Amino acid sequence: MVLKAKRIVAAVIALTFAICLLCSCKSTENSLPSAIYAGNKLYYTFSKDDFSESTKQLDEKVIVKDNWFADSLLSSLSEGLAKAKNLSEEEALKEIFNGGYKIYATVNPNIQNAAEKVFADSATFEQREGYPYAQSAAVIMDYSGRVLAVTGGGDGDRTLNRATRITRQPGSAIKPLTVYSRAVMDNSINYSSLIFNKPLIIQSLNGATPWPKYDDTVGAEVTTVQALARSVNTCAVQVAQNYTAEDTVEFLQNDLGFSTIVTNQSENDLSLSATALGYLTKGAYLYELCAAYQMFGNGGKYFEPIFYTKIEDRNGNVIINKTQKENIVLDSQTATIMNRLLKEVIESDEGTGKPAELKGIEAFGKTGTTTDKHFVGGTPEYLGAVYTGYDDGTDVSVGYTKSPTLIWKKIFEELELTKTTFELDNSVITKKFCSASGGLATNKCTKTEIGYYKTTALPTICALHK
């Protein structure tokens, strides 16, 4: 039903826009197209009648109907203007087309164009034999919540913006948010703690059932870094039990800005399946999922994602000066340790994010697989979230092994990336740990790795190789 309602909203906006293009936006004394600025450049206008004329002065020629960012922006603008001027969203939308506003958008035209170029290339997408291309969407933002690009594609109807209008199951992409970051923050685990790889026993009418599915190839105990790299469900569930579902969903809603969390109906998100494994009752918006990952690249902060910073009327009066919700979610040591843990998802040989690895640029990320596939990852400058899936719920996880990670990589390879390393909290110390015990390595340990620790939460010396 939610999906259907979203489709209708999308269709209404598309229709209103189409009608507007056909008849109601002729430039008269009172009607003036709004101008969208990206940085100091005029990016585009929302009105077709004036578009032909104004393209002369456009620095970037973009056809509005084919631009996904414009769709997300319109939706955000009509909501903001409706509130600011006490209008219905439909009236606000008309105002935006005819009102002569000057809108300062967060879009980065270079990044938008790069993302669209990747999505326009059918070689970007894997295709399973006998199935149509899956739908896909991507959001790119910076570490202060400014959405820089939105795109989508596959075999989709382009009026349906899957990045900002459709919710999807984030799956394991939720684990770093709800489980691991909180456990590192309160020192219940560290970079190399051993976590039990065993299912819970769920009692039901059918008897005792082990849950979630147990992967016995991994070992009975798994280090934190390995549990994340391999995305071991049983480990996430073991750690998630430290927190009540009520606390976890409050964290998702209040600290990380997820707007679709359900707590007040019989089917809700107050379960380990939702909080540890990301099977949310209503799913999550891709741009909200992306925004939640900011904290792993900016020292622990959350900024509400935005599509514009300011709206001025035709006389230059400021109508909306956008203020963002801003939270300090993690202490900076925890943010650094999480950044290093999630870097291994991409860099370690067993990491599920390995296909996203960029040459010479550090990156962190996490995959999520349900009937949809997600990848959220960041470089020192930008953060991106990509999803692939079918609108009708057909399982995309079989046969589409790498899609979101590869799409993410293709987009990031198109960007001008100048920073190669993250700024880390230098009070976090590095120590060699024993891969078998997770303890600080002795000279008798046979296999060791480098771990990242708070000085106040170091592991004990390896007990296996004293």
Q: Which residues bind Zn ion (CB under 5 A)?
A: 434, 437, 445, 462, 464-465
- Residue 322 or 465 having the CB closest to Zn ion: 465
Phi, psi of 460 (to 5 degrees): -80, 170
- Residue 190 or 437 having the CB closest to Zn ion: 437
Check residue 130 and give left, alpha or beta (phi > 0: left; psi -120 to 50: alpha).
left
- Residue 420 or 446 having the CB closest to Zn ion: 446
Cα dihedral 330, 333, 334, 339, rounded to 10, equals: 110
How near is the Cβ of 222 to Zn ion at its closest, in Å? 15
CA angle, residues 191, 196, 201, in degrees to nearest 5:
145
How near is the Cβ of 424 to Zn ion at its closest, in Å? 26
For the sheet containing 373-378, what is the strand order?
Answer: 147-153, 135-141, 383-389, 373-378, 364-369
How near is the Cβ of 434 to Zn ion at its closest, in Å? 3
Looking at residue 259, the DSSP 8-state letter turns out to be: S
Decide: 400 and 126 in contact? Cβ < 8 Å.
yes
Whole-number Å distance between alpha carbons of 316 and 295: 35
CB burial class (10 A; 0-12, 13-18, 19+) of residue 9?
middle
Residue 440's beta-bridge partner residues? Answer: 433, 461
- Residue 5 or 220 having the CB closest to Zn ion: 220
How near is the Cβ of 196 to Zn ion at its closest, in Å? 19
How near is the Cβ of 438 to Zn ion at its closest, in Å? 9
Query: In Å, what is the CA distance from 294 to each residue of 147, 378, 383?
Result: 12, 8, 7
- Residue 275 or 437 having the CB closest to Zn ion: 437
Whole-number Å distance between alpha carbons of 402 and 353: 9
How near is the Cβ of 168 to Zn ion at its closest, in Å? 42
Q: How many CA atoms lie within 13 A of 49 on its CB side?
A: 18
- Residue 2 or 450 having the CB closest to Zn ion: 450
Whole-number Å distance between alpha carbons of 315 and 324: 25
**Sign of the C-alpha dihedral, residues 232, 346, 420, 115?**
negative
Tallying the residues shown for the chain, one arrives at: 466
Joined tokens for residue 6: 């979203």
- Residue 224 or 388 having the CB closest to Zn ion: 224
- Residue 300 or 459 having the CB closest to Zn ion: 459
Whole-number Å distance between alpha carbons of 201 and 149: 44
Looking at residue 254, the DSSP 8-state letter turns out to be: I
- Residue 284 or 434 having the CB closest to Zn ion: 434
How near is the Cβ of 369 to Zn ion at its closest, in Å? 33
How near is the Cβ of 449 to Zn ion at its closest, in Å? 11
Looking at residue 440, the DSSP 8-state letter turns out to be: B
Q: CB under 8 Å to 123, separation ≥6 — which residues?
A: none
Residue nearest to Zn ion (CB): 434
Query: In Å, what is the CA distance from 115 to each residue of 69, 149, 346?
Result: 11, 7, 21
Check residue 257 and give left, alpha or beta (phi > 0: left; psi -120 to 50: alpha).
left
- Residue 92 or 434 having the CB closest to Zn ion: 434
- Residue 223 or 405 having the CB closest to Zn ion: 223
How near is the Cβ of 460 to Zn ion at its closest, in Å? 11
What stretches of 154-205 adopt beta strand conformation (E)?
A: 167-168, 194-196, 200-204
How near is the Cβ of 435 to Zn ion at its closest, in Å? 8
How near is the Cβ of 465 to Zn ion at its closest, in Å? 4
- Residue 159 or 442 having the CB closest to Zn ion: 442
How near is the Cβ of 194 to Zn ion at its closest, in Å? 12
